[in-house]
Structure formats: structure tokens, C-alpha cells
A = this chain, B = another copy of it.
Amino acid sequence: MEVTALADDARGDLFDPACPTRGLLDRLGSKWTSMAVKVLAGAAPAEVRFAELRRRMPGVSQKMLSTTLRGLVRDGLVDRRVEPTVPPRVHYRLTALGLSLEEPLSALRAWAEAHMAEIDRANHAAAAEQVTGADDSAVL
């Protein structure tokens, strides 16, 4: 692996200071991050083990869960505690910073649950216009 250890998980040196939101959304946008935060937040302040975390995130692979958690730990949003047994047990929990993120994030989740169906309908309507020859005057 050599010197590549430096660039290991680095997602670039962040972003344009004028728009920190992009840096945050790049992270939350990665497929499993928000779900991991959700599960960890739901269990807080208790810890969650790797396998348990995986069970609560249907569809995630070992690799992606590992990668996701490493990113969160690196960002200081999650704490990682290793129980030095054989086999090892690894526990994760949100840091104070991670917990503080849960608040605005849950607001976004609430919006999603309330309005994503509407977005879904808008998409299907747009698709329908395509097949009907973009005849928008008759829609509805």
C-alpha cells in the first residue's frame, strides 16, 4: 500500500469556502451515509455494533458499510470503539457533532416523507407528456 496511505480516505481538501453546503451534501449524498446516521441516532446514546448496524441497513455490503463508517469517523461525526477480544467487537455511536447534525437532517427526512410522493407524481406526469407528444394543455 505504501505512501498511498495519505490519500487513503481523503475526499479532497473540502470545497469552496463560500459554499460549505456542497461539502456536506457530498457526504450525505453518498448512498449509505444518511441511513447510517439515522440508525445510529435512533440508538443514541447507546452504541451499535457493526453487524447490528448492517442488519438495520438492508442491502448494504460489508465493504460499503465499512467505507461509510470510516468516512463518518474521519469526519468526526461518529466514534469507533474496539473491544479487544477474539473475535473483535466494534461499537459505533454518534459524537456530539453527529448528534447535532441529526436535527436538521431529521427535518429533511420529514420533508421527504411528506413530499417525495408528490415529486414521484410529477415525474410520472412528465414521462406521460413524453409519450403523448408533450401535449401539456390536456394534462389533468
Within 8 A of B (CB), among A107-140: 107-113, 115-123, 125-127, 130-131
Instruction: Quickly give the copy total for this chain.
Output: 2
Report if A5-B130 is in contact (Cβ < 8 Å); known contacts: A25-B34, A28-B25. yes
Would you call A82 an interface residue if the criterion is a C-beta within 8 Å of the partner chain's C-beta atoms?
Answer: no
Q: Is the interface of A mostly helix, strand, loop or mixed?
A: helix
Among A42-50, A86-94, A98-106, the stretch in contact with B = A98-106
Report if A77-B119 is in contact (Cβ < 8 Å); known contacts: A6-B127, A35-B22. yes
Specify the chain B residue showing the minimal Cβ separation from A121: B76
**Size class of the A contact interface (CB-based, 8 Å):** 35 or more
Q: Which residues of A contact B (CB under 8 A)?
A: 5-6, 8-11, 14, 19-26, 28-31, 34-35, 38, 73-77, 97, 100-101, 103-105, 107-113, 115-123, 125-127, 130-131
